[in-house]
Structure 1
Amino acid sequence: MTIDDLLGPGPWPRRVATAAVFLVPALALTVQSGYSYGAALLLVCALCSLHRWPRLPQARWTWGFAAAMSGIGVLWLVLANPLEGLGGWDRPSKFAFGIVCLFFVSTAAPKPRAQFWGLLAGCAGAGVVALWQVYVENSPRASGFPTGRTNAIQWGNLALLMGTMLAVQTLALREHLSRRAVALACLGGLLALNASVLSQSRGGWLALLMAAPVGLYFLWCFYRSELWRMLAVATIALIVLGAANHAVLAERWDIMEQEVLIYGTERAADTSVGQRLEHWRFAWEVGLEKPLLGWGMRGYLAEKEKRVAAGQYEPSILEYIYTHNEPLDMFIKA
């Protein structure tokens, strides 16, 4: 018996792909390991239908995307921590499975609105989880469930990413959405941004600032007549968001100023900001010695231990294998 016999002919791949496209963002930040349910559903159905989709033609964009994913997977394999053993295959294997799911989805053609509503549900869920953790459980920062056992930085950055994706989706589908749906999307996006603020993660906001010119260009091309009104609404939303979290933002800003000052005067790298600045200094100075080929993960770890032992850099940078800055991390290793 095949899966076709269980679910019926034809339409089931689209139904499954549509459900998975909704579930991945909808559950990603709301429940424990929520991102895995939709992905697992997609992978299982892709493997169960290997007799069908490999025979169908793929668009050139799909092949290009698959090639890019393959390259990233190989890069993660090269940069895997040698101390992790088989754990080093974690990220590369996800890209390999992702390529399988990509080919399946491209032939199944899920309904586009599934992602919009999935993002909306996911952003709203992340916002509610953050409010619950901070104001009901009195957790120092939002991080997703289970409380205190997940990475607040990654969780907050993903909330910001999903909020941004929802904003882009809303703009792209605006003519096909009702006013109620647009209003709900605005609320969901604001909840996701608030979740990022309550997580107290900072790097994602710098990335958003760098991506802002692309967003402005998008608005200029497609919504030129409404550009200023949209910017005004966005500005008001950010003001409201800042006012609602004034105490948290002010506290984090004061801590950052103090830690930057201490690092600048005493080279103290045992604080959150100081450790990052010291790691960035190491990555930049050592990376300049091999700007084209990089040190690789093994060389990076060995050189770090060597130079810390020589007193050139503070020991705090030995606690982490990443530099807390993706461009610098790639610069020194790849």
Structure 2
Amino acid sequence: MSAGAALFFLLMLSVPSGYSIGGGVLLLGGLAAWWTARRAGRRTQAGVPDGLAPAPWTAEDRTLCALLLAVFAINALAVLWHGDSGKYLDQGARYLLAVPILAGLRRIRLRLDWAAAGLALGLFATAGIAAWQTIGIGYERATGFVTSAIPFADMALTMGFWSLMGAALAAIQRRWAWSVLLLAGALAGLYAMIAAATRGSLIALPVLLVLAAVALLRRAHLRPLLAGIALLGATAVIALAVLPAGQIAESRYAAALDEWQAYRQQGDASNNVGSRLEAWKAALISIPERPLLGWGHAQYDAHLQTLIEAERVAPFVGTLSNTHNQFIEIWLHQGSLGLIAFLALLIASFWYFCRRLRAPEPAVRVLACCGAALPAAFAAYGLTQVILGRNNGVMFFLVSLAVLWAALRQAERDAAHGV
């Protein structure tokens, strides 16, 4: 399972469908861990010192598993109720499969150095893919192998933030080689995000910085923290000023305000910002008509045409594949039940991690910060896209949640026993 976690981060953005390899290994490992524990009739192996054994299951573990099952169950219920195609069960089924991964990771001792190495090396490969696409073959924006620049940038930013936090922890622990490796990984992630020239990623940055400040701002840690921030800032400025992809990113950031003004003043729904706002408007008009389980996909497509014919929304909305908002998309197609279950999962996971942000042990604080950053960042990304409507997005979120939660609980156990 440690190898599965390392492979997941290593291949996530650098290989087509790379998430399937690490995720598959983790799923098989989780099922094997469950079967072993079931046969043994206990969660820890005989002879393992108490401080090295996995932390006992708590109400938090059970709640996370229950919420994952609830999201899956409501998605399945909505699909059956609406008579939708079975393909709309695809992403929802991943929440079900995340349960044995989470349960399995909680039953074993995760080798965190393996996961950290996979994270850093995966970011180097991601930056290499971004450079190849933008400099080597002339793409305007790096997209990696995840079909779109937007999720590529979002996941590169998230992984880069984790790598930065790992570098800070390694510096606190005076593991300088690891600190340099992980800081280089953070720089690679920043480059990949800039090369993708995605504006939605920036929404998450303030939240990530606040979480990092809460976890790390101690007088003893201030000097290495400021040095790392200065290096990242300088890298971002240079990339924006010098690299072609950076200049494209800067122009796209500046264009967002113009697109907003064009929509507000002229009703132009043909640009990126205007089309999103018009899609939200159409969905919010429709949701009150079917509040409990929402609209089926085919039903909503037909309903949307009636709104267009009645000139209640712009015709351009009919060309969009979704609402470009994770929360509205769930609310529209799974109703209030689906939205409540999804929000409960985000809020519970965020709160469970945040409770440890001021823990005395640095490793616990850093892992808590990385864990809290996941639901917080995906909530921010979800404001302008349906990031969990893609296999890569939902797999990244669920597997990372399981790995980070298990790592945090293990770090707490180690701190309690002085390991």
TM-score interval w.r.t. the shorter chain?
Answer: 0.7 to 0.9
CA drift of 1:202 comes to 1.9
Question: What runs of 5+ residues in structure 1 fail to find an aligned partner?
Answer: 1-16
CA gap of 1:125–1:113, structure 2 versus 1, over 3 A, is: same
Any idea what SS the aligned residue of 1:132 has? helix
Task: Give, as a single letter, the amino acid of the residue that structure 2 aligns with 1:219.
Answer: L
Q: Is the 8 A contact 1:76 1:91 kept in 2?
A: no
CA gap of 1:271–1:118, structure 2 versus 1, over 3 A, is: same
Question: What runs of 5+ residues in structure 2 fail to find an aligned partner?
Answer: 44-55, 242-246, 337-419
The range that moved more, 74-83 or 178-187, is: 74-83
Which of 198, 202, 207 is the aligned partner of 1:205?
202
Task: Give, as a single letter, the amino acid of the residue that structure 2 aligns with 1:19.
Answer: A
Partner in structure 2 of residue 159 of structure 1: 156
Partner in structure 2 of residue 38 of structure 1: 22
- 1:213 and 1:79 map into 2 onto residues whose CA distance is 37
Partner in structure 2 of residue 14 of structure 1: none
Deviations 1:175-210 (A, max 9, x none): 446212111211111111211111122222202323
1:113 aligns with 2:99: no
- 1:137 and 1:20 map into 2 onto residues whose CA distance is 32
Q: Is the 8 A contact 1:20 1:38 kept in 2?
A: yes
CA gap of 1:192–1:180, structure 2 versus 1, over 3 A, is: same
> What is the root-mean-square deviation in Å for CA atoms of aligned residues?
2.9
Task: Give, as a single letter, the amino acid of the residue that structure 2 aligns with 1:217.
Answer: V
Partner in structure 1 of residue 11 of structure 2: 27
- 1:154 and 1:304 map into 2 onto residues whose CA distance is 26
Deviations 1:243-296 (A, max 9, x none): 312312332134324322322232111122221122233345555x47974734
Partner in structure 1 of residue 147 of structure 2: 150
Partner in structure 1 of residue 397 of structure 2: none
Deviations 1:62-93 (A, max 9, x none): 32321222223234435659686121221122
1:101-250 to 2 correspondences below 5 Å: 101-145=101-145, 150-176=147-173, 178-220=175-217, 223-227=218-222, 230-231=225-226, 233-246=228-241, 247-250=247-250
- 1:98 and 1:249 map into 2 onto residues whose CA distance is 35
CA drift of 1:46 comes to 3.8
1:252-271 to 2 correspondences below 5 Å: 252-271=252-271
CA drift of 1:228 comes to 6.7
Q: Is the 8 A contact 2:143 2:150 kept in 1?
A: yes
Task: Give, as a single letter, the amino acid of the residue that structure 1 aligns with 2:67.
Answer: A
Calculate percent identity across the aligned residue pairs.
21
- 2:293 and 2:29 map into 1 onto residues whose CA distance is 40
- 1:331 and 1:49 map into 2 onto residues whose CA distance is 36
Any idea what SS the aligned residue of 1:167 has? helix
Partner in structure 2 of residue 312 of structure 1: 312
Task: Give, as a single letter, the amino acid of the residue that structure 2 aligns with 1:67.
Answer: A
Q: Is the 8 A contact 1:124 1:189 kept in 2?
A: no
- 1:204 and 1:97 map into 2 onto residues whose CA distance is 27
TM-score (norm 1): 0.81
Partner in structure 1 of residue 62 of structure 2: 63
Paired residue total? 312
The range that moved more, 155-164 or 165-174, is: 165-174
